[in-house]
Structure formats: structure tokens, C-alpha cells
Structure 1
């Protein structure tokens, strides 16, 4: 092994060569070399430098459901962290950390020797000091430029900071996977505890993930995380921090992961992305481009238990009907009577890892007979009653196309209630003729903002709407007639913990007469008991509280909907909308609103009652 002085000369020569190889002539970033001047007065100024922003999302009860961007936990000094965590980091990442002056020339020579003999860089050589510089100052530079800058200034960096502060910076800035930046955020996400209470096994698992945190964290791959933790424990034993017996005993321990955190993150992807987009608009209005950092906390309206129930209901039902559904997509949204979004599924990829399109909000599809809510509301508002008679005989559009009833029955006279219960299209069309503007106005009153063509097509639901829009409208009926506006934040806190937004319920805006709402609720109940929504019929114990809903199916089975309410479930009751269809608007194999969507709806309501009462 060459003497350190020779190693140092070789490293300095490499330092001079690398910028030339990478086409650079500029010196290293000044901030990485000149600390504690005007810009960096304390180590915490260094910690805050170049740190991104993020939002940590909590459910309505304050439970973690995921994050977007750089989200950090508490900033902790080394004295507040377990000794074995620091030892694990040193043993695995930089065994000679307490001996070198920022650059480990022995480690660098070893890495270079391996690279020369193997033809590739398979070993590290970067000290914790260099890694800390990369995290804070050099993460935007290419590999060779960064290495040159690290070698040029690592010793000065460490001399000015001290080894203790380098460890402090590293542990509070490193990324550990699943959106967790800093060891405290990681401890809370993966183990549901602050970093100060991490066990030896948990510490080894977090340190083991550092080389590739997105792949090696315990939520991503527990088997690999266990294997990496074992290597860390062996390194600790080899370094004399723990005994070999302790290492072997610790390897056999099973970590107590915060599995509910993982499940929440994997089920709420579309909700979080929607919430983040709305947060960004709010923050832009409030702060412009100068956000304080790093981590905002948003307490949302989502209920983690109901979200899990929604995902189970969707996945179980889709699996049961896999043959007829193929790759058909799905969306679900659950609201309380005030419009708080308690659960939301935006597609099969609930984590939104690859598919970021939220079909509960962004998709505009034909609602079919689910739009009849507005047709029959308008009829009630102009004086008809459930017993009024309507002509259900054969009928055509003005262009000569026949209006068809799904059951192929065309009664010459049918009550308003029966026409709604059995979704008689010809009766609905006659109720629409001459009243399309009234129907469109009723839909807008109840919260439908998508463009509506005020013509006979409204009777069959040909104007496209979003699932959230139409579910809001059904929630108006369910709550007795007051306007509902879907919302997803309870409060937002800034990085200092100050509340910068708090939801205030708007003044009650009655948009339906209470009697009309009660009549519609009763008619929706009949649909579930005796009509097209029988698949959604709830167990008697739930049904007697009050429940109802409506199916929707479009031509060639391109869209299938079920939207309905259940009083008293999860508190004051829920209104839930479900849509199933292909993104390309191609036909499904006989899937109607009364089949898969109604089954998902029923399964979810039963689950919701089980977990929430």
C-alpha cells in the first residue's frame, strides 16, 4: 500500500485531471468551500441550503397517508439519536470516518485499483463528508465533476464543520425512500416512531437502504432490506461496535413495520396528487414563488380506514369479474353530507406510480341513466308526483333513431316512480321533451359544471360529466337538499406549524325543496329494492337506516355507473359513486351499472359500516 503522502499526491492529480476530462474550467461551488461567512452563519444554515419543498399528507384523524416532494421530520442532534444508529452509519458507509480528514485516501486507492483491474467502478471510495457535500451542494453535477469538487474541498469542508456536524447534516438530509428525507421522517414512515427510539435492527435497516433507498427500503422489498441490514450488522461487529453474538441475535429479529403507512401510501396515489395540485395553487396565491421550507403538513378529509375499504372492495370485485372486464378501469369517490371526500380511487393503479390520471375527477364520461336523477327532479319540481302517469311507449329521436328500453318493454302508461325504478328510457325522454333547459338548470344547481347540451339526449345521459360532479349531486339529495361541494383539506400547516388554511363550511345553500329531496330519496330506495340496482341492496340492518341509488349504462356497455347513498354509515352517512369503463371508450363485455359498479358499491358500504359503524 503506498504511503499516505503518495496517495494524497495521486488524489490531487486526479482532482486536477477530472475537470479537464469533463470539460470544466470553473472552480468548485464557493458555498462548498467558504462556510460560515455571510451566507452560512451556522450549521443549520448549511442544513437548510438547497433543500426542496414538500407536503406531508395526513388523513382526517391525523394519520400518515403519504407525501410528495422533499418531506422531513424533526431535525435531530446526534445526542437525540441512538448511538447504534450513528455506529451503523459509520461501519457501513465510512469505516475510517474518525481517522481521515474528509478524504479516505486508502479507500480511494482501493476503489481506483479495483476500477483499473475490473474496468469499471464497482466500489465507492466516497467518505461521509463527500456524500454530505453531494447531498447539499453537488447533487446537480455530473459524476466526474462532482468527484473532482469533493476531492478539492472535502478536507476544508470537514475542517470548518467538524465531524460531528457532518454526521448531523447527513442524517438530517439523506433520502431513505418512500418520500422520507432525514432519519426522523424515515423512522416515522417505516416504523411509526421517532428516530430517537429506533432499535438496533431498525437502524441497520435504514442504513442498509442508503445506497439505493427507492429499491432497498423495507416497504419496497423487505427481503432485500433484511439482507442489507444483515450486512450492516456484520460491519458493526467487524468494526467492534457490537459483538458477533449481538449481530446474529439482531438478524433474527423481525422488524415491526408501520404496515398501515405502507398500505395508505399505496392506496392514495391519485388523491395525494390531486391534493398536491390544489396545494400548489393555494401556495402560489399565498407565497408566489418564495415558499418557506421545507415541509408543509396538510390534514385532509380522507379517512384511511375507508380508503383501505374502498381499495379492497374494488380489487375483490375486479378480480371476480376479470374475464368480462379485461383491462377496464375503475373509479370511486365517497362523500359525507358536507362534501368531504372520505375515499377516492382514481384507477387500478391506486398508488399512481405509473398511471397519474385520476378518473374520479379528470375523466368526463356519459352517465347514462344515472343522469335521470335530474330529469325526474325537474318533473317533481313542476308538480308531478311519484304516482303521476307517464307514457312509456315506443319513441324516436328527431332523426328517426329509436329510443330503446333496456328491458325491451314499452308500457303505454307507467307511474313516475316505476319509470325511475326500472329506468324506462322512453318515459324519461317524454319527461325531457320541452323541458331540457329545466333539467340542465337542475343539474347545474346540484353541482354539475361540465357542459350540458339542453336537448333530448339529456334523458339518456349523453352529456359527459365527472364522477365527482354527479356524486356531489346525489349527496345533495341524500342530505335533504343543501348544496354540496367536494373538498379535501381540513387544514394546512406551514413548516413552522402555523395554520395557514382551515376549512370553513359554507353557509347552507338549499338547492332542492326538502319535500322533493325526500321524494327522490324514496324513489332511489325503490331502485335498489325492486329495480335496476338490486345488486347493491344492503343487508337489512343497514338498509333500514335508509339507502338508495341509481344505475347508469351507456350504449354498447361503454360506461357503467352506480351512485347511491346509505344513511348512518360511517357517522351521518355516505354518498358513493362508482364508474367502470375502458379509457379508450371501447365496449365492455356486458358490464352494466347494475353489475360490477353496484357490487363494488355494496361491498364498500358493508365494509365501511364494519370499520366505522
Structure 2
């Protein structure tokens, strides 16, 4: 036997031995690891971590919550060239191999042998799917072997397009973007279908190293990676030479694009987020729920803007408090100024800016504003900036810019077009050589407020504002603040009186009263806001003129405890109500939401109301897991009313009770996940409809003749309401409605303090209410409560409240049929008597 023959046999023996050992070891690894490998079918059951999305009732995005931004897509929704770009970058033989690319593994093995490290890994797209869905990212042999086994298993059970779709929806592409659709929005703010070839190649370069090849963090490396992928696509004949040259020469266009919300409703979004977390725990952030709220996008945006405008208007009336800080402008260039300004947060539409110079001769100031860059401001936008001294006192009107500003001052400004800036707030600045935009001087208000609009019949929240800026303060005053309602409490008192036999024509004496209580050294001497007294006054006039002394005497006649019992009947919280006559003037405590709910009961004719925010919840597949129950109003037959669980925010102020916490929705006792359509909520009558109808008429006079006259600017005949101002102007309100909606506005300081001697509900809260209602009521017909049976109109003497004699001047008044004033007898027609006084002394004194 020749030497060559013996050598060949020896090599064959070594090869077979090696092959056998490899097969034995591989089989051993397989038998050891196979029981712990998941089934490929589990890929169909895996939920991609998709953020929680909150929408208005008309489908506008309000907010998105969740660490990972992801929008799953089907492979049919991804352009072919985008698929080719990923294949060229990651796995050009994807449609040819069986899940494992032997060439790629061999290349990885050579890299390991030559460098001591695994560099490329040799992973196919199928192996990446196995790793991303089932395995850790540890670079170990065991993990790699598991990856190979899973890839083979996945290829046996799933088709190639399904595998590629799973890959495109799972991969991390930097900047919190998971999946191709999310990345397209993050980097280019458009759907995948609208990307250019250069942009497609840029995204395809990200999976290898999302940080290293990120076009925002490392543009040069990202450009090189993009061009390499384009070269691979040309080499693989996926694109033509012309396509390649055009794409390679394209500029980088990637910018960071945060999720663009379509409605400014942060307080509403937080309420919905809290309720979803209460129901689903942390899964709310990852399971892809879509929540449709009751708010209307136009009304909500209007509410946000009306509240901000009203608070700014109050703030400007009380003067300029000065710069919020200073910057040494002499030692900083444009970019350094922009960086320094980032220490001052943007608040709503207000943008921090540093004063560069003032020009008294031309009446202008030049500033450098965060985001906007160089801007100019004219004197006419600064004339309001009288120096603040106290809430009741300001300095003289500025005559020149230097009376207000000095170089280096940091102040807040607003673009004159009143639009939020769209430029990226990345610290980069425009050159100081060119002034690009005009702005007006503003300041962030210290005063706060709330606005709530409810559908009167159902309690659905149409709009809600919980403060000037959620970014400045997360405290939601609409549902968390407990404040004195002042005279907006009086409608509940007058409704009780009407149900107790009083009429709008009943006379009560508006005269001084002194009340002494045990333990009080100083007697209580309540007064009207004018400081004057007006004698016998009809209840109608007393309400629209907001006469305090009449309300106190009326409560004394009704009784304090009966009044508290009546509030309970109306489901107005009484835990923070006093048990004394100051109750008549609204000295108790209610949150704006509680007051809005009470006003909705009056607005809808006397039926119960439960405010709710969530209309519908859908899971990631679009299947409804909750629909808000329908609301049915019932007068007597409410026997089929469903017992429902009141679900709301959990003791948000840590005061030991949840009475003051907003009820987000009402559901049955079953878990939300199993409730698709709750039974209808039957809402019973809480107040007599004839009494409510008369109160509507009286409260319309508040707007026609009384303290709410500013609302006549809306030119509506269906509006009713009540102003409210507490002692020392600490809390100011306007609560108004028509038959379809109830809207309240509140203005005050978070830490109770006087707003100023000339500030009342009519000057602070009512303008906010009007600005909102101007839009909310646009193109809507008049909506007044239908007149119930048993109501009559009688012409009365305005001074006596009795039926007017023939030929005597009088006014028409509403009465229940049984309370209709007696017809004047023939004997009395020529005399001066007033008829039966019915204990007139009690009414007058």
C-alpha cells in the first residue's frame, strides 16, 4: 500500500471521526436544549409591546403613553424597496436558505478564530426573529445554538413573508422606535409608504447598531452605512445605477419627531391614563389599548385656549412681576445663549427669551428666544407691563422699552401669530444677524383656574381644563381642588325653596342682619357685595342680583338641616358643608367637577348625572373590551336600575377619603376585560321638574338682567347661569348652562389669596366661559327646557309679588297651578290693599 493511500485513509478516518463527534455533540446539545425551546406557534400569541393611545371622540390623538413607540404593520403595507433594503443590509439570501446561512456561520467562525471575538454573528433574519422574540441578547455559544435550533423550527412552521413581517415589527431602531412604522414616524414624520429610497436605506442600516448608525447621534457614520447599503442593493440588482446615484447624493433629512398630538388636553389624558392603569396595571402601557374619550377635539382645544387666555388676561391686569432670571449675554455666542435658555421651561405657548438690547428711540427690544432664535418686540406689546406692587396696585404705564426690560433679562414671550413653534428644541440657534419673528411680552400666570363642560343629559365630559399648563403643574384643579363655590351655590338653595312652596314672586326682606353664635367674640354681619340693602325683594330679583341677605333669610326659613338633606337628595357632597347660615353664601367646599355635576342636574331638568370620560376601550386587535353604558332618564319606573361599581381615581390627595376624587366611569362588578357593553344606567329624577323649570327662568335673568350680563354678547335666549365670588375675592366662578350642556369656570390661586378688590366672577371666570361657549354653541339651535304641565303665567305687581290689578303695571311670573296668586276681588279692585299677606311679617323680617 502506497504512502498516499495510507495518508488518504488516515484523513478520511479523522474526518469521519470528527463528523461523528460533531453529530454526537450536536445531538447531545439538541436533546439537552430541545425541551426548553418554545414552540414556534407562540409567535402568533406574542403581544408586541405597543403604547397606550388616547383619542377624542372624533378620532384625534390626545396622548400616547408607553416606553416603546410601535405601530405594527403587515408586510403588504411595506414598500418592496424597503424590504429589499433590509435584505441587502441584513440577509440577502433570506429567501434561499432554510433559516441558517452556513456561509454566514462559517464567516463568524473565522472571525472568532482570527480575533478571539464574535463580530458579525452570522445571524439570518430568521435567527434574529428567534432571538428578539424568545432569547436574551447574551453573546454566548448556548444562546447561539438555541438561536439556530429555533430558527430551523420557525422556518419549518412559518412562511418567509410571515417571518419577515415579525422581524420588521420587532426590531429596535433607536430613539424609542420599535418596528419600521414607528421609525419612519420618528425620523421622517411620515408613513413607510412615503419614504424615499435614501430614507429607506437609512432605516435599514439601523438594526446592526441603532446608536452607532443613528442619523441624529452620528450623521457621518449613518451616511456611510446608508451608502454601503445602497451599494449592496445595486450589486444585488435591486436598484438601477440612476437610482443608486440619486440616493447616494441625497442629503440627510432625518430629524427627531415626537408623537404629534392633535389636541391640547394633557389633564384629560392624565385622567384617562390613571384609569387605564387602575384597571390594567402596567400592561396598559404595553398591550396596545386604544381609548376613545367623550371629549370633542374642537371643544377641548377651545377650552384649553379659553382658560389660558382668561388667566393671562387676569395676570396682565395686575402688572409685570419682572424678569424670571438673567443671563450674562456679553460672554455667550448664539448657540451658548440658546443652551442657557434651556434652563427655563416652555409653558404652554409661552417661550423664554433673553433681552439683547433695547432701543428707546424706535420703541423696540431685540431678544433671543428659545426655539425661535432672534426676535423683536415693540413697545405696544409692553404697555400692559406696569410694575406689579400688590394685587390692588400697579406702577405707571411704561413709556419706553427700557422702563420694562434690561439687557440680559430672561422673560417670556409669545409669537404674535399665537401659534406654537414647530422647530426642534435642540439647543441650536439661528444667527443673531437677522431678526426673524415678532413677539409680545407675556409672563407665566400665578393665578390658576379650571373649566369643565358636561353633556347635561348623560354626564359625558365634552371638555376639561385643569390648570394653565400641565407641564408647569400636574395638579388637576378640575377634579382635585376643593374651593368655596360662593354664590354659585345659591341655585341649589333657591331650588329647595321652590320645591318647599316658595315662588319666584315670594318677597324676602333685604335688610341688615346680625348673627351671634356661641363661642364667637365678634358677631357676623353679612352684607351684599355692593354694601347696600334694598328692602323687600322678590326671589327672582334676589337671585339675578345675587342678594346675600335674602339668601341667608331664605335658608333660615328652610332650615339648615333640611337644606343639607336636600343637597344629599341632589347628590351634592355635604361632607365639607358648614351647619350654619353661612352655607347660604357658599361657604362650604366643592370641587369644580362636583359643582359642574350639580349644575348638570339642574340643566337637564332635575335628573341624576354621573360624569364619565371613557367612551370605548379597544385592545390591540381593535376588539372592544368596554363600551360606556347608555344613559336612560326615568321619572318613576327606575326599578330595573343596574347596581354599578363607582370607579375613579384612588384617593389622589391622600386625605383618607375618595369622595372628592373624580368618577371616571361606571362599570359593573365584573372586571373591565370581560365587560363589552354594560347595561344601561337608569338615572332617576332628583328634583321636581316644575321647580327646575322656574329656576331655569330665574337663572336666565342672571344673564339678561343680572351679574352675568356679559354673556348677552353670545346673542342666545337659552343661556342660564350664576356668578360666584367669595369673601375677599379668593374664589371666583361662573356656572352656566342651557338644556343640553352645563359648563363651569373657576379662577383663583392654588394657595387661597385675594384676587384683587375689583375682581369678581363676572370679570375673571365669565370671560373664560363666554370664550368657550362662543365655539361650543356655534351653529347649534336654542335649547330650552320644555315647559312641563302645571305651570301658569300670571301678571303680578313687581313690588308686592301679588296678582296685578286691572290697569296696573306689572310683570309676568311663573307659578305652579296650585300656587297661583288669588284673583283680586271686586271689592279690592278700587282699594290700595294687597290682599292676604299670608304672614307678611315673616317674609319681610
In the superposition, the TM-score normalised over structure 2's length comes to 0.53
Q: Does 1:59 align with 2:56?
A: yes
Out of 599, 607, 610, the position equivalent to 2:767 is 599
Check conservation: 1:88, 1:233, Cα contact below 8 A: no
Distance 1:71 1:429, change over 3 A: farther
Task: Write the distance in 2 (CA, Å) between the matches of 1:604 and 1:426.
Answer: 32
Task: Write the distance in 2 (CA, Å) between the matches of 1:262 and 1:372.
Answer: 40
User: Structure with the greater relative contact order (CA < 8 A, sep ≥ 6): 1 or 2?
Assistant: 1
Displacement of 1:307 in angstroms is: 0.8
Out of 407, 426, 432, the position equivalent to 2:530 is 407
Check conservation: 1:69, 1:179, Cα contact below 8 A: no
1:113 is matched with: none
> 1:206-217 alignment to 2 at 5 Å?
none
Displacement of 1:320 in angstroms is: 2.6
Q: Does 1:320 align with 2:313?
A: yes
Task: Write the distance in 2 (CA, Å) between the matches of 1:35 and 1:364.
Answer: 62
Q: Does 1:236 align with 2:235?
A: no
1:349 is matched with: 469
Task: Write the distance in 2 (CA, Å) between the matches of 1:184 and 1:459.
Answer: 60
Q: Does 1:455 align with 2:445?
A: no
- 3-state secondary structure, aligned to 1:275: helix
Displacement of 1:419 in angstroms is: 1.5
Task: Write the distance in 2 (CA, Å) between the matches of 1:79 and 1:47.
Answer: 20
- 3-state secondary structure, aligned to 1:60: coil
Unmatched tracts of structure 1, length 5 or more: 1-32, 109-124, 139-145, 218-223, 568-572
Task: Write the distance in 2 (CA, Å) between the matches of 1:595 and 1:212.
Answer: 59
Task: Write the distance in 1 (CA, Å) between the matches of 2:186 and 2:693.
Answer: 46
Distance 1:153 1:557, change over 3 A: farther
Check conservation: 2:201, 2:229, Cα contact below 8 A: no
Out of 497, 502, 525, the position equivalent to 2:700 is 525
- 3-state secondary structure, aligned to 1:343: strand
- 3-state secondary structure, aligned to 1:536: helix
Distance 1:500 1:407, change over 3 A: same
Q: Does 1:548 align with 2:684?
A: no
- 3-state secondary structure, aligned to 2:691: helix
Out of 502, 514, 520, the position equivalent to 1:396 is 514
2:406 is matched with: none
Task: Write the distance in 2 (CA, Å) between the matches of 1:368 and 1:102.
Answer: 82
Unmatched tracts of structure 2, length 5 or more: 1-31, 95-100, 113-120, 234-242, 319-443, 632-680, 782-845
Post-superposition CA distance 1:171-226 (Å, at most 9, x none)? 4246789998644467789999865566668868988999999xxx9xxxxxx98x
Out of 620, 630, 651, the position equivalent to 1:504 is 630
1:11 is matched with: none
Post-superposition CA distance 1:464-516 (Å, at most 9, x none)? 11111111111122222221111112222334433332222122411122221
Distance 1:302 1:186, change over 3 A: farther
Distance 1:598 1:188, change over 3 A: farther
1:588 is matched with: 755
Out of 272, 276, 289, the position equivalent to 1:275 is 272
Out of 513, 535, 539, the position equivalent to 2:714 is 539
Task: Write the distance in 2 (CA, Å) between the matches of 1:409 and 1:354.
Answer: 42
Out of 438, 459, 462, the position equivalent to 1:339 is 459
Post-superposition CA distance 1:360-406 (Å, at most 9, x none)? 11221111111111111111111222221112222234341221321
Task: Write the distance in 1 (CA, Å) between the matches of 2:780 and 2:36.
Answer: 57
Displacement of 1:586 in angstroms is: 2.9
Give the stretch that moved more between structures: 460-469 or 354-363: 354-363
Check conservation: 1:176, 1:206, Cα contact below 8 A: yes
2:449 is matched with: 330
2:246 is matched with: 245
Task: Write the distance in 2 (CA, Å) between the matches of 1:348 and 1:416.
Answer: 37
1:3 is matched with: none
Displacement of 1:305 in angstroms is: 1.5
Q: Does 1:445 align with 2:569?
A: yes
Task: Write the distance in 2 (CA, Å) between the matches of 1:201 and 1:612.
Answer: 51
In the superposition, the TM-score normalised over structure 1's length comes to 0.71
> 1:31-180 alignment to 2 at 5 Å?
37-42=36-41, 44=43, 47-48=46-47, 55-69=52-66, 75-78=72-75, 80-85=77-82, 149-150=138-139, 155-156=144-145, 159=148, 160-161=150-151, 168-169=165-166, 171-173=168-170
Q: In the comparison of the two structures, how many residue pairs are matched?
A: 531
Displacement of 1:550 in angstroms is: 1.2
Q: Does 1:515 align with 2:515?
A: no
Displacement of 1:61 in angstroms is: 2.8
Check conservation: 2:723, 2:761, Cα contact below 8 A: yes
Check conservation: 1:305, 1:611, Cα contact below 8 A: no
Task: Write the distance in 1 (CA, Å) between the matches of 2:566 and 2:187.
Answer: 49
Distance 1:405 1:135, change over 3 A: farther
Check conservation: 2:564, 2:574, Cα contact below 8 A: no
Distance 1:291 1:64, change over 3 A: closer
1:577 is matched with: 744
Structure with higher helix content = 1
Q: CA RMSD in A?
A: 4.9
Out of 290, 295, 299, the position equivalent to 2:292 is 299
Post-superposition CA distance 1:428-455 (Å, at most 9, x none)? 1111225222332333333323513332
2:616 is matched with: 491
Distance 1:408 1:190, change over 3 A: farther
Check conservation: 2:51, 2:285, Cα contact below 8 A: no
Displacement of 1:611 in angstroms is: 8.0
Give the stretch that moved more between structures: 595-604 or 558-567: 558-567
2:733 is matched with: 561
Distance 1:419 1:47, change over 3 A: same
- 3-state secondary structure, aligned to 1:480: coil
